[in-house]
Chains A and B, each alone.
Chain A
Amino acid sequence: MLTIAGRKFRSRLFGGTGKFSSPEVMKEALAASGCEMVTVALRRIDLNNPADDIMRVLDRDRYLFLPNTSGARDAGEAIRLARLARASGGGEWLKLEVTPDPRTLLPDPIETLKATEELVKEGFKVLPYMNADPILALRLQDAGAVAVMPLGSPIGTNQGVLTRFQVEIIISQAQVPVIVDAGLGAPSHVAEAMEMGADAVLVNTAIAVAGDPVRMARAFAMAVEAGRIAYESGLGAVSKDAAASSPEDGLGFLR
């Protein structure tokens, strides 16, 4: 079972709550995914539509909220959002995101490290979204991050694990759980990450924008489980040369 900061999770799939067509579809898809932790964002209330509260459908006893700092462009903005999240009753858990470039939404490693150091001091359980940089993963771990969240590919791109080489190193070195986040666009992508030994994956866009988000959530859940079982079972070695599966002996009668 996965343990992060002393909390146990049966499911290794974490869900996002953005981009769903309705709160009802989101609720059903999250239920189908089996996830136990969901990300949420913080935004100004639309005073012209104050009843539009998507979170009313989410059962806080069922899902641990992982507020994110999406929209923060530097450490200061991320820290402000984190404090607001805690004041909102979001608890101590925090997905730290610092993404200064709206085109790539790639995380700023220096600001992310600075914010992690400060927020850990303030008692947050920080899960930083990070580029797939093995050195940075160790620095964030040393700074007190309770998990690291290297990206597979840029947010919302559905490109899969383009960072495989680096993520493998991160997994091999990390003392904290490694959650591959962002860009996981198909069940095969999460299966790949889990087969590599990732502790968990976070998926939002690929489920939320699917033709049938509820069935897609189920597909992702199955792929996460399959990938994890494969990792625990020990995958066969990869080689360039063929190795016959059928016996090589006993062919004498042919020639």
Chain B
Amino acid sequence: MKVFCNGQEQDIGSGSRVVDCLNTLGLDPLSVVVECDGKILTREEYASHELQDGSVLELIRFVGGG
């Protein structure tokens, strides 16, 4: 199935959880905050939150800023 991560289409297996998607992208779950279909997930939810076909993920992290 397809999900959208930061605007890019990604192919992932059906039934994938958020944490699977982060692993596929090579991202450390501890350094990422995830907004899935407009809802901010807690870190605990990464392992349980199941993605749907067409899910829209925003993967955000701290960067340098003033």
Closest residue to A65 on the B side, CB-wise?
Answer: B62
Q: Is B25's CB under 8 angstroms from A47's CB?
A: yes
Asked whether any CB of chain B lies closer than 8 Å to the CB of A83, the reply is yes
Which residues of the partner chain A approach B27 to less than 8 Å between Cβ atoms?
45, 50
Q: Is B6's CB under 8 angstroms from A44's CB?
A: yes
**Once the chains are docked, how many angstroms separate the CA of A210 from the CA of B59?**
32
Q: Chain B contact residues (Cβ within 8 angstroms of A): what range?
A: 20 to 34
The smallest beta-carbon distance between B3 and chain A, in angstroms, is 12
Within 8 A of A (CB), among B8-66: 8, 25-28, 31-33, 35, 40-42, 58-66
Q: Mark A213-246, 1 if CB is under 8 A from B, else 0.
A: 0000000000000000000000000000000000
**Once the chains are docked, how many angstroms separate the CA of A44 from the CA of B28?**
14
The smallest beta-carbon distance between B64 and chain A, in angstroms, is 4
Closest residue to A42 on the B side, CB-wise?
Answer: B60
Q: Is A44's CB under 8 angstroms from B40's CB?
A: no
**Once the chains are docked, how many angstroms separate the CA of A193 from the CA of B61?**
33
Contact of B33 among A17, A18, A70, A88 (CB under 8 A): A88
Evaluate whether A47 and B5 lie within 8 angstroms (CB atoms) in the complex, with A41-B63, A54-B63 already known. Answer: yes
**Once the chains are docked, how many angstroms separate the CA of A40 from the CA of B25?**
23
Q: Is B42's CB under 8 angstroms from A40's CB?
A: no
